[in-house]
A and B are shown apart, each in its own frame.
Chain A
Amino acid sequence: MRSYWSQVWPPLVAVVLVLGGWQLAVSLFHIEAWILPGPAAIAREAAGNSSGLREHTAATLRLTLIGFPIGTGVGLIVALLLHLLPGLKRAVYPLLILSQNIPTIALGPLLIIWFGFGLLPKIVLITLVCFFPVAVAAMGGLAQTDRVMLNYMKMAGASKWQIFSKLELPGSLPSLFSGVRISATYAVMGAVVAEWIGSDKGIGYYMLLQKAAYRTDRVFVAIVIVVLLSLTLFAVIALLERWLVRWKPGKPT
């Protein structure tokens, strides 16, 4: 427990100091609330409007929880396909990188033209944001298979499927998870952007609305919620990783 606290308190102190300094600066220099509200004002606003916020948060969470698994799944499938077909990998890899250079904001309206205003374009958007880190990380992990173990498997007469399921896949898990962690944070951002583009609920929609009304405090409330959602999803993934990759040296079991 003690070592746990020694890990946790330095960042906690840092956060408290930043918030305190912020609050102090806002009151000392008499900064207008519509330019930069203090943390106390933001917290008050969040508490006062909690029922409406809950609805928006739930909508964003739902979108994230649908989009993230689909995006991760697509990433995994892409990685497996390209790993099994090296020729295809050479052909498609540049396209994959290209797909990541298209700005999401530009793509959003197009997706709405193609898929309407429903759930589909939003899921497509989140998938496009999420799949890439997973695919790249998984391909990297699959390509790094230990040669000696691979030789052992072949000598022992292992089939292609056995080599994949018993050696390549478990061996790629640590690398895969570094990708999944990144796309977990991207997923929440993707959901917010999807809501900006066309929605009548969700944190992204709420953010746009409040920005138009110059309710800076409420924009900050939205930001805090987005950050908390990302952190939670990240933590869940980290826990899952800790359990699945418990064999790794240096990790407490």
Chain B
Amino acid sequence: MTQFTDALTSASKTGAFPDAQEKPFLSGAAEPRNPQTLPPALEVKGVSKSFTRRRRTTPVLDGVNLTVGRGEFVSLVGPSGCGKSTLFHIIGGLTLPDKGSICMNGKEVTGQRGEISYMPQQPALFPWRTIEDNVLLAGEIRGLPRAGARETARRWLQRIGLGGFEQAYPHMLSGGMQQRAAFLRALLAPQELMLLDEPFSALDALTRGEMQRWLLELWEENRRSVLFITHSIEEALLLSSRIYVFSGRPGSVLHTVDVPFPRPRRDEITDDPEFLRLRRRLTDWMREEQAKSRK
């Protein structure tokens, strides 16, 4: 938990959203400075999976390879039904792959649970827990000491605009606020790698844009390793360093796109010609795949 406390103290010294470039990487605070020399946070190596129902075998994933480096924000876009959820279940250890393996920080963890911090599509806050207790849940599950955790959670809630809602129950909050609390729950989890599964898909367009900017700012400050699933190409381009484009079922990596924009990123990059060009290309790929999967 020390890494969060570090980030907090420095954040509270410099104000609400300090310039991200001067910040030390949160995820590597106690380790060697250069994240490139560390083994990647996540490696998916040749993962295939098919499901058998009523003697009919449907391949869902076909030889998926992808990597999330330390402190990298990586997105995964693809047509609906491309097996993204199955991939998340395999990474999370809920399902075993037929072939291939999952490595985290250089260690094989195929089929092991509790190695990732997960944020589902719906906020999935526990209705009987207060916002504060919800945020503390991930640490509680891992059996971390409570001392200090509550204090940290309160300061974070304050920072993400949920101050005064610590003792509120989830149903009293708007959808956007619930999603923020769910994100904080994932952020304060002890696991380094965050898996965000279409976290903003249930929000209205305005709130969604707001949440994207909010996530961008927060992430650029913290630099956790993130694997982000989304349907929105624009969202992926705005947030990530690398994008994997998935094919339709059976899902596999079709293209890998490195997003060249420097950080910290501003909203204005969405008007950049390069941004528009990339968006065009990705949209075309997606359209092709969608058309193929319809046949």
Contacts and interface: CB of A to CB of B under 8 A. Distances in A.
Contacts, number: 64
B169 A156 contact: no
Contact of B141 (A158, A247, A248, A253): A158
A155 B118 contact: yes
Contacts of A248: 127, 171
Interface stretch (A72-80, A92-100, A167-175): A167-175
Contact of A157 (B89, B121, B141, B169): B141
A152 B120 contact: yes
A149 to B, nearest CB: 5
Contact of B128 (A153, A155, A156, A173): A173
B126 interface: yes
B209 to A, nearest CB: 24
Nearest to B118: A155
Interface in A195-249: 245, 247-249
Interface string B163-197: 00000010100000000000000000100000100
Contacts of B129: 247
Interface stretch (B17-25, B66-74, B108-116): B108-116
A154 interface: yes
Contacts of A156: 113-114, 117-118, 137-138, 141-142, 189
A248 B142 CA distance: 27
Given A157-B141, A158-B141, A249-B171, A152 B128 contact: no
Contacts of B120: 148, 151-152
- The dominant DSSP class at the B interface is loop
B113 A155 contact: yes
B218 interface: no
A45 interface: no
A151 B141 contact: no
Q: Name the residue among B120, B141, B189 with the largest chain A CB count within 10 angstroms.
A: B141
Nearest to A250: B171
Given A162-B141, A166-B137, A171-B128, A152 B118 contact: yes
Interface string A40-82: 0000000000000000000000000000000000000000000
Given A156-B117, A158-B141, A245-B128, 17 more contacts: A149-B124, A151-B120, A152-B118, A154-B93, A154-B113, A156-B114, A156-B118, A156-B138, A157-B115, A166-B126, A166-B140, A166-B141, A167-B126, A173-B128, A247-B128, A247-B129, A249-B171
Interface of B: 89, 92-94, 113-118, 120-122, 124, 126-129, 137-138, 140-142, 169, 171, 189, 195
